[in-house]
Amino acid sequence: MSLLRESIHGQWSSRWAFILAATGSAVGLGNIWKFPYIAGENGGGAFVIVYLLCIVAIGVPIMIAEVMIGRHGRQSPINTMRSIAIGEGKSSYWQILGWSGVLAGFLILSYYSVIAGWGLAYIFRSGSGVFDGVTSDGAASIFNGLVGSPESLIAWHSVFMLMTMMVVSRGVRGGLEKAVRYLMPTLFVLLIVLVGYAMNSGAFDQGVKFLFAADFSKISANSVLIAMGHAFFTLSLGMGAIMVYGSYLPKDTSIAKTAFIVAGADTVVALMAGLAIFPIVFANQLEPGAGPGLIFQTLPIAFGHMPGGAFFGTLFFILLVFAAWTSSISLIEPAVAWLVENKNMSRQRACFWTGLATWFMGLGTVFSFNIWSDVKFFDKTFFDLLDYLTSNIMLPLGGLAIAVFAAWTMNTVTTRSELAMVNERSFKLWRFLVRYVTPVAVIIVFLNVVGLLDFT
């Protein structure tokens, strides 16, 4: 079966457009708080070394495979998996992998939009001086007041979904590419400004030590598993986003080089976020291990007690929303692309219906923090269940299936031609990693997160 060699949705104007878009997809809320936190708690620089090795051995090989599959199929993930499988003489049931990715992106965006809405709300709270002189109890009261109000959460959730739909409805070059061309450089500038601000906080050395001082005594089997899991999840793998972005990639672009650049940029953003956050945390004698609460309950206290805190606090929450925005447009794109291809919809109409369905699903997350807080599914709130299902089950299984499909189902001639690696040894190394190392690592991470293995 012949495959489409040009996507009906268009393509990126250049490799750098794809790099900005893929980096935007990878950079999200987790980069701003999770990576710096887990690095500091698991050996600092020692953990960073382990994490970078995991990126090279696990994350990048799967990313290369996913981009390659996307570019070879030139369609939505569902149609790409079906057409390639049939073209290789394999079962069309491989399209289930595409469906899984599209569904995962849909479910993730439904709650991601709600959390991003918190960031939108905090931009205005910080800018209006609400946090000036705020106490710990005051910060907690402000946060609880926000999440305890279904009306407020629905309003901010709606605004963020409209922002996302506005970009995606305009197409690949007119919407996605144009957005990331402005959003990603702005995100980096905001990070640089905030790092510069943190350098004058009086505790920059302490923040650097927290992140980079290599304490190998803190490295355990569990630390390695945390690094492996984060290396996989941070690159937006297994949710269809990277595959559909790959379908818009020009043919003459090196997939391997591009994947390494995206992985490197994603890691740099995470480290810069740590350098921006933790000096401020230490300068104000706050708890660096506060997790998600660090952003919405701890940092506002710091910003409320420092010169220029309202301004820089506002910049921080703008940064947070920008990171979420660049991720959200990639999460909804696979579903929109499928509707355009299969249901003869215009992009605008497909975006409207997909966005509306995502918004409606997001109401479950909104209510999880207030009127449904006591409603449990398998001992989890609606939000916790979606987060667990997508992050711990759907994404790792999707990544595993991508590795298996690329290395064991697609023939060597096809993959060699698509990747066009000049060095044959580089191709053989990638094929070895994606055939043997990556699947085993993903299986171990999966068994650990679902509780079938325990290395603590």
Q: CATH number of the domain that 429 lies in?
A: 1.10.4160
The answer as to whether 274 is a domain residue is: yes
Residue type, 286: L
Q: What CA–CA distance (Å, rounded) separates 363 from 190? A: 31
The single residue listed with the structure tokens 């450089």 is: 185
Q: What CA–CA distance (Å, rounded) separates 406 from 71? A: 12
The answer as to whether 236 is a domain residue is: yes
Q: What CA–CA distance (Å, rounded) separates 244 from 229? A: 23
CB 222 within 8 A of CB 230: no
The answer as to whether 47 is a domain residue is: yes
* Cβ-Cβ contacts under 8 Å for 379 (sequence gap 6 or more): none
The answer as to whether 7 is a domain residue is: no
Q: How wide is the angle at C-alpha 189 spanned by C-alphas 163 and 261, nearest 5°? A: 85
The answer as to whether 258 is a domain residue is: yes
The SS3 assignment for 430 reads helix
What parts of the chain have a pLDDT lower than 70? 1-5, 289-293, 453, 455-456
The answer as to whether 234 is a domain residue is: yes
Q: What CA–CA distance (Å, rounded) separates 210 from 47? A: 11
Q: Output the six-digit token pair for 190.
A: 């905001």
Q: Output the six-digit token pair for 76.
A: 């939505």
Q: For residue 217, what is the DSSP state?
A: G
Total domains in the fold of the chain: 1
pLDDT at 79: 96
Q: Which domain holds residue 153?
A: 15-449
Q: What is the dihedral of CA 205, 208, 210, 211, to 10 degrees?
A: 180
The answer as to whether 75 is a domain residue is: yes
CB 307 within 8 A of CB 102: no
User: Which ranges of 299-452 would DSSP assign to H, the alpha helix?
Assistant: 299-303, 309-342, 347-368, 382-388, 395-404, 412-419, 424-432, 438-449
Q: What is the dihedral of CA 9, 11, 13, 18, to 10 degrees?
A: 120
Q: For residue 219, what is the DSSP state?
A: -
In angstroms and rounded to an integer, the radius of gyration of the C-alpha atoms of the chain is: 21
The answer as to whether 128 is a domain residue is: yes
C-alpha closest to that of 116 among 149, 148, 164, 151 = 164
pLDDT at 4: 54
**Sign (positive or negative) of CA dihedral 365, 367, 372, 373:** positive
pLDDT at 1: 45
In 33-117, DSSP assigns E strands to: none
Q: How far is CA 352 from CA 107, 170, 339, 356, in A?
A: 16, 12, 11, 6
Q: What CA–CA distance (Å, rounded) separates 93 from 105? A: 20
